[in-house]
Chain A
Amino acid sequence: MESLDPRVNRLQLSQRELTSKAPLDQLGTYEVFSQLRDGKPYFHVGPVHAPNREMAFLFAKEQFSRRQTCTGLFVVETRKIMVSRFTEGEDTVYNYIEDSVEAEEGQENSYELFHLKKRGKQHEHIGTIECTSAEEGLSLVKSEFINEKPIYNIWIVKTSDIEFNQEEDKIIWNTLPDKKFREALAYKAADKIKEFKERSL
């Protein structure tokens, strides 16, 4: 595999006849959810590419929480999110959820429920459901939401598929506040350009 970075030279380690098939040179995606303040719901903020959950969390922290307050962050592999259809107008997506779904064999698991309350906005974490399948879970909560303001899309994820931040790692969001050099705003470029122009007149 050739690296795109001209400074990287690949080591030629394997000289055997048969080698394993190289996977695509692309990483999978993970969806990131963040909480801006304690007690507020988590919102979906976007995806990151990563080789595993742990590294997805690592990237998500800088990607999505370095410029604003954050009190919690979690990531889940994109394909582990079960997604409903989209609806519009007064048509809530719960109209298409079965009234009852038979529990599957085996024990109950925790699932996390997310609602899209406005098209073009972010999915919001609503709560946790104990159930044997995503389908059963949605049927269990249908009565609670069917007569409320319309929901346009649902995401539901098994809790065990989610990588949460460790409680003791929450200090990663306490950062030095005095770093204005990070922000373009702090350079007041417009003022300086104006001043420069006036001087050169």
Chain B
Amino acid sequence: MINQEALKELLYKMADDQLILGHRNSEWTGFGPLLEEDIAFSSMAQDKVGQSQALYQLLYDLGESDPDTVAFMRNADQFHNSRLVELPNGEYDFSLVRHFLFDTAEALRFEMLTSSSYPPLAQLATKIKGELRYHTMHANIWIKQLGSATDESVSRLQHSLNELIPYALGIFEPSPHEDQIITEGIFQGEELLKDQWLDAVTQLISKTSLELPDITLINPVFGGRIGEHTMHLQPLLDEMSEVFKIDPTADW
């Protein structure tokens, strides 16, 4: 019998990460640096929302509220996303670097989850492999391109990288159920994921003129997983749920 509390905690933080980043990235729709990229970035944002919906559905099957209620009716302190994903958009370099740092971790996480002891999660992880492959392909190609293009592009990316690395390390904030999650085979754990993520990020960055800050000297920004967020999350939630809250019973 799988530890339900541990499983739900894992599902909530993954789903919340995707929903919030999906919403943030969708704010670029109509403002992308070129039409083709606008379409690609918006489409990936929709993928993320779709993936979060699939995870909320797994939670619903475990007895939680329905996906729309869970997505739209909670306050910021009930969300378990990392602080990385709620930070407001700046210029495009910021969003690209966040996309790269987050999606690299996300793809590795779901790769590990394809062998989860909780079959519905393992099946979902297999199903979304294709979407995640495109997302990491997109991130890697952009970072490689701009990470060694001009002084301005390199300097912008480097600046965003320095700013975002402490937040990115916050993705791996350990769960209070870390031991059960690992011993029960639900997920191989945040620590192992972080190691794999660091290898992948280091490898890609080494193909560019960028320098990865020494992460052993950096304090990760934790708190998101236990509902402690920045001031930026609540306004995002208010905007995201505005229409839903006018009439939660409306049929879409």
Report A's interface with B, CB cutoff 8 A: 5, 7-11, 13-14, 27, 48-52, 54-55, 58-59, 61-63, 66, 169, 171-176, 178-179, 181-182, 187
- The CA-CA distance from A199 to B50 in the complex, in Å, is 33
Asked whether A174 lies within 8 Å of B130 as measured between CB atoms, the reply is: yes
Judged by a CB distance under 8 angstroms, whether B6 is at the interface is no
Most chain-B CB neighbours within 10 Å: which of A5, A58, A61, A63? A58
Given contacts A62-B36, A175-B47, 18 further A-B pairs with CB under 8 A are: A8-B92, A10-B152, A11-B155, A13-B152, A49-B34, A50-B36, A54-B141, A55-B141, A58-B138, A59-B40, A63-B40, A171-B130, A172-B134, A176-B128, A178-B50, A178-B53, A181-B46, A181-B252
Chain B 28-71, CB-CB to A under 8 Å as 1, else 0, gives: 00010111110110011011011101100000000000000000
Most chain-A CB neighbours within 10 Å: which of B44, B127, B134? B134
Asked whether B133 lies within 8 Å of A169 as measured between CB atoms, the reply is: yes
- The CA-CA distance from A59 to B53 in the complex, in Å, is 25
Residues of B within 8 A of A8 (CB): 91-92
- The CA-CA distance from A58 to B134 in the complex, in Å, is 8
CB-nearest residue of chain A relative to B129?
A171
Task: Please tell me which one of the listed residues A13, A52, A175 contacts residue B155 in the complex, with CB atoms under 8 A apart.
Answer: A13
Residues of A within 8 A of B33 (CB): 5
Judged by a CB distance under 8 angstroms, whether B8 is at the interface is no
CB-nearest residue of chain A relative to B159?
A11
Q: List 26 A-B contacts (CB under 8 A).
A: A5-B31, A10-B152, A11-B151, A11-B152, A13-B151, A13-B155, A27-B34, A55-B145, A58-B138, A58-B141, A59-B36, A59-B39, A63-B36, A63-B40, A171-B133, A172-B130, A172-B131, A172-B134, A172-B137, A174-B127, A174-B129, A175-B130, A176-B54, A176-B131, A182-B46, A187-B252
Residues of B within 8 A of A172 (CB): 130-131, 133-134, 137
Residues of B within 8 A of A14 (CB): 151
- The CA-CA distance from A55 to B149 in the complex, in Å, is 14
| CB contact under 8 A between A178 and B54, given known A58-B138, A172-B130 | yes
| CB contact under 8 A between A58 and B34, given known A10-B152, A11-B152, A187-B252 | no
List residues of B (128-156) whose CB comes within 8 Å of A's CBs. 128-131, 133-134, 137-138, 141-142, 145, 151-152, 155-156
CB-nearest residue of chain A relative to B51?
A176
Task: Give the secondary structure class of B's interface.
Answer: helix
Asked whether A62 lies within 8 Å of B152 as measured between CB atoms, the reply is: no
Most chain-B CB neighbours within 10 Å: which of A7, A169, A179, A181? A179
Most chain-A CB neighbours within 10 Å: which of B35, B40, B46, B127? B40
5 closest A-B pairs by CB:
A174-B130, A59-B36, A62-B40, A171-B130, A172-B134
Residues of B within 8 A of A13 (CB): 151-152, 155
Most chain-B CB neighbours within 10 Å: which of A48, A62, A171? A62
- The CA-CA distance from A26 to B236 in the complex, in Å, is 34
Residues of A within 8 A of B134 (CB): 61, 172
- The CA-CA distance from A172 to B53 in the complex, in Å, is 20
Asked whether B133 lies within 8 Å of A63 as measured between CB atoms, the reply is: no
Asked whether B47 lies within 8 Å of A176 as measured between CB atoms, the reply is: yes
Asked whether B131 lies within 8 Å of A175 as measured between CB atoms, the reply is: yes
| CB contact under 8 A between A51 and B151, given known A171-B129, A172-B130, A179-B46 | no
B146 to chain A, nearest CB (A): 10
Residues of A within 8 A of B130 (CB): 171-175
Residues of A within 8 A of B133 (CB): 169, 171-172
| CB contact under 8 A between A176 and B151, given known A55-B141, A66-B43 | no
- The CA-CA distance from A54 to B31 in the complex, in Å, is 23
CB-nearest residue of chain B relative to A165?
B137
Residues of A within 8 A of B151 (CB): 11, 13-14
Residues of B within 8 A of A173 (CB): 130
Residues of B within 8 A of A10 (CB): 152
Asked whether A169 lies within 8 Å of B137 as measured between CB atoms, the reply is: yes
B227 to chain A, nearest CB (A): 27
